[in-house]
Structure 1
Amino acid sequence: MVVIRVRSRDGVERVSIDNPNITIGELKTLIESQLRVPISNQTLSLQQNLLLAKSPAERSQFLDMANPSIPISSLKIGHGSLIFLSYDGEREIVLPARRPSITPAGSFGKKMTMDDLIAKQMRVTRQENPHCELVSFDRDAANAFQHYVNDSLAFAVKRGGFMYGTVSEEGKVEVDFIYEPPQMGQEERLVLMRDSEEEKLVDAIANGLGMRKVGFIFTQAVGQDQKGYTMSYLEVAQASELHAESGLKEWVTALVKLKVNDDGGADVHFEAFQMSDMCIRLFKENWFDLESIKEGEIVDPKVSRMKKEVVVGGKDVKEVDNDFFLVVVKIFDHQGPLSSTFPIENRNFPVTTKALKTHLERTKSQPFVKRISDFHLLLTLARFLDVNADIPALAACVRSETAVPEGYQLLIESIANSGV
């Protein structure tokens, strides 16, 4: 007997086959009979991104298991293999047989506690639509972030940052700059060592520019891409914490990683999500269980462990497939009002006033307001200026593209020449 694991939006189920040399068409027949998904409604693939495809057009791009006459063995599908299934509509979930329970004499059944009742109400389903219409990245800001991770870190460790920009009434999120706080990145874990004083400066600059914090962006290390998940349980927990902290329903979580292309090379790939409403509720109500994971314990990164059972696909479970928590957001790009050519904070080397002097000399042919229209430059200046008066005034000039008063020009040039 050969067992194939089939992962769909309902979690992981199993299909039993007698002949390991059956074709894809015969496998679909078995899926129809055992999992009750009609053949005409099945899209199969070895690529997990199939589960993120929302329309027939998007699913039609997954062709690796489209030919029904190909033997599954030619795709190296065998006992224990994991394939992905996408389908439309609803179906009755086939639950595994359970041993009959024995009720003590004189009892009408098990008494349910309040926790049991609450757990029964926690039904984790896939949220189809995000609260934001789309997210658009400033090209320069996105390139400055991914180039550093690619060229300097080689995607060996994780890197993260906060995205700042605007949210329109229609829910369109525009990201115009990325702030990278002090941090420590490892292959699977990202620790943000947030500096409250520095973040106050960042928020003051953003307010002056008419912007706000709109999301979180992070990278996955190369080694993570081989583990078959979109986001790990650690990433889901961190993204949920930051989303919940923001209080912004349009908050976006962006993921940057390397993907192998058709030529065998690697391309930098951006993906954008919102954490589902249920995910944020579970986080706020402290359902996620990270504390019970022991040092050295082998944990499946594809699932998030719950402290109590929740209902997924009609089943009571304590582990939820992370893809249930992800709501795909469309990505666009634009050319925003800021440049991203000034050295970026909290990287390999501290940013000094020497960098400011070099930048001003390199851009001396431009109007002064254009020369300082860079968030990272403004953050460097903010360390020397009054955050309550000077920074809002300079940011207002940048926002309206009006001339910088001569007094501020002289002050900035003095800082650049200070040699600090």
Structure 2
Amino acid sequence: MLIRVRTRDGSERVTVPNPNTTTISDLKTLISTQLQIPVPNQTLSTNQNLLLAKAPSNLLQFSDMSNPQTLISSLNIFHGSMIFLSYQGERSIPNAPRVTPAGSFGKKMTMDDLIARQMRITRQESPHCDSISFDRDAANQFQHYINETLAFALKRGGFMYGTVESDARVTVNFIYEPPQQGTEENLLLFRDPDEEKLVEAIALGLGMRRVGFIFTQTVGQNKRDYTLSNAEILQSAELHAQSGIKEWVTAVVKLEVNEDGGADVHFEAFQMSDMCVRLYKEGWFETHISGDVDPKLSRMKKDVVIGVKDKREVDNDFFLVVVKILDHQGPLSTTFPVENRITPVTMRALKNHLDRTKNLSFVKRISDFHLLLLLARYLDVNADVPALAVCVQLQTAVPEGYQLLIESLADAS
């Protein structure tokens, strides 16, 4: 069987001849033989955070694959599984071809040749943000719809809003889902400038901003050998480039098989590397993806240097920087219906929500981003919307005039 091994150099494969009897010790020997990484230099784990460890002492916390006698089958490692490998020292990439430097033997170099030889693709070791923390309810509201309604058969996406702290920690407190159409492989966002203006006004009043992009992968994609597809890399790089903030995070939600053979919803978080964003901004990516291109590879318009070779196809993993995931209980509720889903959100939903929450203070009753977005369609975006959002942020009493207006809108449904 084949096991995928992700290192700082990208994703590689190791062939395991006898998976049922292979121990951790055997696996390390196979890695040494096939990937040319000495056994004493290896630290293995099923935890992707291993690749974030910056000091040798930090490696000690990743002990799930430290016992050399443990069978890999007991760790639910099977054909196609991904494990993570941190190693000390340098290595020679297996099967790396020898190349003749451009310009040798009298060959003249063009300006494109010179630029391409300076565009060296290396793996970025650390993200610009320390971590990303999801509001538990907001994350659950997003994944629950994908799981229960779409059954992870169609892609879905949204923009994450929250804060970037002074220590580079990113917090996500709500997710806005724009109009969109998802298929098994692709996600098309129908950006609505008028609606997004309302979203930004609410976020401003709440003291928050757009901090990232979140999307799902389908069960069909999970059978493919990539972390992000080339189409997902393009979309993520575009949104990261547009964001204007270095801490921007891209999050992926997917189903993964657990040790009992069932399926668990799993979140992963990345930053597009600085090189990836630069390449996108400078127009290096081929944006038309033909069917003959392996989805785990991104195609360039010109040669780039990877290791010692000039190439036009780059393993997508080179562009991904793993971000640590945390969670928290945020300031907003998530009980109101979400915009732009199969069932339209109407004022009847507002009426039902207000009736259901009569025992709460009025500011608590409207402390839901999706509710505020519905109200914003009927209010002044420059005055009313920020004023209501500030009340929610500070949890101060909502002025009586606004209460009467909101209740009258609900009663008119």
Q: TM-score range by the shorter chain?
A: 0.7 to 0.9
1:160 partner amino acid:
G
SS in 1 for 2:203: helix
- Residue 270 (structure 1) aligns with: 267
1:37 aligned onto 2:37: yes
Which residue of 198, 205, 209 maps to 2:202? 205
SS in 1 for 2:220: helix
Query: Is residue 7–residue 51 contact of structure 2 (8 Å, CA) maintained in 1?
Result: no
1:214 partner amino acid:
V
1:341 aligned onto 2:335: yes
SS in 1 for 2:126: coil
Query: Is residue 47–residue 62 contact of structure 2 (8 Å, CA) maintained in 1?
Result: no
Deviation, 1:62, is 4.6
Deviation, 1:347, is 0.4
- Residue 384 (structure 1) aligns with: 378
Query: Is residue 160–residue 218 contact of structure 1 (8 Å, CA) maintained in 2?
Result: yes
What do residues 290-342 of structure 1 show as CA deviations (whole Å, max 9, x unaligned)?
Answer: 32x33xx2331212111111112222221111111111111111111110100
Q: Once superposed, which parts of structure 1, at least 4 consecutive aligned residues long, lie more than 6 Å away?
A: 3-7, 12-17, 19-27, 68-71, 80-84
1:38 partner amino acid:
P
Deviation, 1:111, is 1.1
Give the Cα separation in 1 of the matches to 2:241 and 2:225: 26
Give the Cα separation in 2 of the matches to 1:377 and 1:124: 45
SS in 2 for 1:165: strand
Deviation, 1:226, is 1.3
Structure 2 alignment gaps of length 5 or more: none
**TM-score for the superposition, normalised by structure 1:** 0.85
1:409 aligned onto 2:403: yes
What do residues 256-276 of structure 1 show as CA deviations (whole Å, max 9, x unaligned)?
Answer: 111111111111111111111
SS in 1 for 2:247: coil
Which residue of 210, 214, 222 maps to 2:211? 214
Deviation, 1:58, is 6.6
Which residue of 154, 158, 162 maps to 1:161? 158
86-95 vs 201-210, which moves further: 86-95
82-91 vs 362-371, which moves further: 82-91
Which residue of 193, 196, 200 maps to 2:193? 196
Give the Cα separation in 2 of the matches to 1:267 and 1:69: 23
Give the Cα separation in 1 of the matches to 2:140 and 2:15: 47
**TM-score for the superposition, normalised by structure 2:** 0.87
Distance 1:409 1:29, change over 3 A: closer
SS in 2 for 1:222: coil
Query: Is residue 96–residue 308 contact of structure 2 (8 Å, CA) maintained in 1?
Result: no
Aligned length: 404
Which residue of 343, 353, 358 maps to 2:347? 353
CA RMSD after TM alignment = 3.4
Which residue of 89, 106, 110 maps to 1:109? 106
What do residues 162-203 of structure 1 show as CA deviations (whole Å, max 9, x unaligned)?
Answer: 000111111111111000000001111010111110000000
Over the matched positions of the two proteins, sequence identity in percent amounts to 66
Deviation, 1:95, is 5.3
Query: Is residue 49–residue 324 contact of structure 2 (8 Å, CA) maintained in 1?
Result: no
SS in 2 for 1:308: strand
What do residues 90-119 of structure 1 show as CA deviations (whole Å, max 9, x unaligned)?
Answer: 223455556989x9xxx9521111111111
1:56 aligned onto 2:59: yes
Distance 1:96 1:404, change over 3 A: closer
Deviation, 1:42, is 3.5
Give the Cα separation in 2 of the matches to 1:396 and 1:410: 18
Deviation, 1:228, is 2.2
Which residue of 199, 224, 229 maps to 2:226? 229
Deviation, 1:394, is 0.6
Distance 1:358 1:321, change over 3 A: same
